[in-house]
Amino acid sequence: MYLKPMIKGFRRGAKPDTGKKLLLGRNGLKWMRSAWRNVSREKGAALFLSVLTGVVMLGLTTPFLVKMSGSYHLTEKSYKSMTAMNLAEAGIELAIWEINFGDISSWSGTNSERTLSISNFTAADGAVIGDISIIVYNPQLLTPMIESTGIVAWAGSQNITKTLRSGLESGGPLPLFNFGLFGQIGVTLGLNASIDSYDSRQGPYGGDNIHSLGHVGTNASTYGCVTLNENSIIHGSALTGYQSNPDQIIVQGNGSNITGQKTTLDQVKELPSVPAPTGLTYGGNLTASGSSTTISQSGQYANFTLNNNALVTISSNVVLYITGNLTLNNNAEIRISNGCTATFYFGGDWNLSANSMFNNLSHDPSKLVMYGTDTFSGSKTFRNNFATYAAMYLPKADVTFANNAAIYGSIVANSFAIGNNLAFHYDEALASMSTPSLDTGTSSFTMKSWQEKIY
């Protein structure tokens, strides 16, 4: 209350009262200092309380954050461990398939130990999962052992690995149709001919369902037992007789190619004789003209003849045994209705004229199976300009496909030749097809034991 008049006095030029000035100045300064100290003390207390609160909160949350961090790392490590285990199991399954149906001789190593490494194994979306390392001990013996390791990246340069060991034992019969083309004494590919593979269980041939497992094999060890003429190609491996030298006996013309390996069989492929079916109703000679002939029951025939342009329709699952001659004249057709299975046994000869055909409407090679008995021997020629879907086991016959069409399935014969420009597509599904009436020798393998290897 005294400061304001004093300040006004100075503005008017009046001389202030010195005593009052000093008194009022000291009190004002004291009040101002006191006020400042109070404010400072309040600010300091607030700052102190804030810091103290922060320290307390940090003390309370730090253990929680540490626990959460540990839980996250534990969860991630558990996930990576499970992924490594799944990769190891995938390696076991792959090795069993290769031993039973594939070509494990194309793996690195020797007959006593085969190895395969798969780097950057990817998921369906293209993401890299990890690596797989597989060792198969003694794949040719009756009790092979598989060791498979799954490897997944962890932290920095560290990896998480899981290793499984699996012992195998003999199971069912060996697959009969585990090659695209197999000839007891040899296989020949004509000019511009080709062979590849697909899997009918995945749908029709084409697009992503075109593979390179169109293997060609023979038990022979003579020069030229596998011959590729000019520009012919095998999208798969070429295998020659057990303990032979494929580099010295496989003959390749200009421009021909084998995309897989040139190697040898792990063992001789047994081609057992086909027993003739019994208990079938005898139908004598069948001669068909026109398109009115339908077969809906199994039977045995002496001769089976289709005149020019004749059509025989098979309308149910049947077994047909032809002890004499099968004759298909020009444009004659044996049609297997969609969904039906026809199994033919041949004991005599066949004469297949131009444009005659076996028309398998299912487009599934397992729906048309042809067996040749020991009396079905010598030269047999297909003259067919249409696509054929079939599995053929003709161990005593020398078979030739002289056409420009496509063949889907598998063929086993004494010898086999595919003509110029012919495309052969091996159906991988046939490797697991059952042939119970044939003794194919040593059985395939199933899992006997399974254990995780602890380091």
- Does residue 9 surpass a pLDDT of 60? no
pLDDT, tens digit, for every residue of 352-384? 888 889 999 999 999 999 999 999 999 998 876
pLDDT, tens digit, for every residue of 159-188? 999 999 999 886 666 788 999 999 999 999
- Does residue 236 surpass a pLDDT of 60? yes
Share of the chain above pLDDT 70, in %: 80
- Does residue 69 surpass a pLDDT of 60? no
Mean per-residue pLDDT of the chain: 85
Contact 274, 438 (CB under 8 A): yes
The pLDDT of residue 100 is 79
Place of tokens 């700052």: 47
Average pLDDT rounded to a whole number, residues 105-128: 85
Q: Higher pLDDT residue, 30 or 206? A: 206
Q: Higher pLDDT residue, 147 or 386? A: 147
Q: Higher pLDDT residue, 358 or 385? A: 358
- Does residue 5 surpass a pLDDT of 50? no
Least confident of 47-51, 106-110, 112-116: 47-51
- Does residue 391 surpass a pLDDT of 80? yes
- Does residue 19 surpass a pLDDT of 70? no
Shortest CA distance to 113 belongs to which of 79, 140, 81, 93?
140
How open is the CA angle 382-366-174, to the nearest 5 degrees?
105
End-to-end CA gap in the chain: 91
CA distances in angstroms from 290 to 81, 238, 302, listed in the order given: 68, 44, 21
The answer to whether the pTM exceeds 0.75 is no
The pLDDT of residue 322 is 97
Shortest CA distance to 104 belongs to which of 263, 323, 276?
263
Q: How confident is the model at residue 44 (pLDDT cuts 50, 70, 90)?
A: low
Average pLDDT rounded to a whole number, residues 445-450: 82
Average pLDDT rounded to a whole number, residues 428-448: 76
Q: Higher pLDDT residue, 3 or 369? A: 369
The pLDDT of residue 29 is 58
Q: Select, from the ranges 96-110, 128-142, 251-265, the one with the highest average predicted confidence (pLDDT).
A: 251-265
Shortest CA distance to 241 belongs to which of 187, 320, 202, 293?
187
pLDDT, tens digit, for every residue of 282-325? 999 999 999 999 999 999 999 999 999 999 999 999 999 999 99
The pLDDT of residue 22 is 42
- Strand partners of residue 211: 197
Average pLDDT rounded to a whole number, residues 88-97: 90
Concatenated DSSP letters of 291-308: T-EEE-S-EEES-EEE-T
